[in-house]
């Protein structure tokens, strides 16, 4: 169970990083300034901009927004699975 939790955490983290890049690429395409020094925090800062931009273009919020939040939830669930399995080993 521990190995499955670790693999799940790794995969969901990589997918979350992919969605983060998609969100930041869309925001930079609209010529909104992004500081690459703290790039992981910039995603949270510009989520509203991404929603606004995609809603203007397509009439709905972009898929990367939902993928980003879904992978955040899956990462948290993976951490819970890891903690439960580590706690059960003792």
Domain with 63 in it? 2-80
Confidence of residue 90 (pLDDT cuts 50, 70, 90): low
Inside any domain, residue 88: no
| Statement: residue 4 has pLDDT above 90 | yes
Inside any domain, residue 89: no
Q: Give the chain's domain count.
A: 1
The pLDDT of residue 35:
78
Inside any domain, residue 86: no
Q: Kindly report, residue by residue over 27-81, the tens digit of the pLDDT.
A: 999 988 887 777 778 888 899 999 999 999 999 999 999 999 999 999 999 999 9
Inside any domain, residue 14: yes
Inside any domain, residue 87: no
- Distance (Å, rounded) from C-alpha 32 to C-alpha 27? 6
pTM score over 0.85: yes
Inside any domain, residue 60: yes
């Amino acid at each position: 169970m521990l190995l499955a939790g670790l693999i799940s955490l790794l995969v969901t983290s990589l997918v979350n990083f992919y969605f983060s890049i998609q969100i930041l690429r869309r925001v930079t395409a609209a010529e909104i300034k992004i500081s690459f020094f703290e790039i992981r925090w910039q995603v949270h800062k510009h989520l509203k901009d991404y929603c606004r931009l995609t809603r203007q273009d397509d009439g709905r919020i972009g898929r990367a927004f939902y993928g980003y939040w879904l992978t955040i939830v899956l990462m948290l669930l993976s951490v819970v699975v890891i903690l439960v399995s580590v706690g059960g080993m003792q």
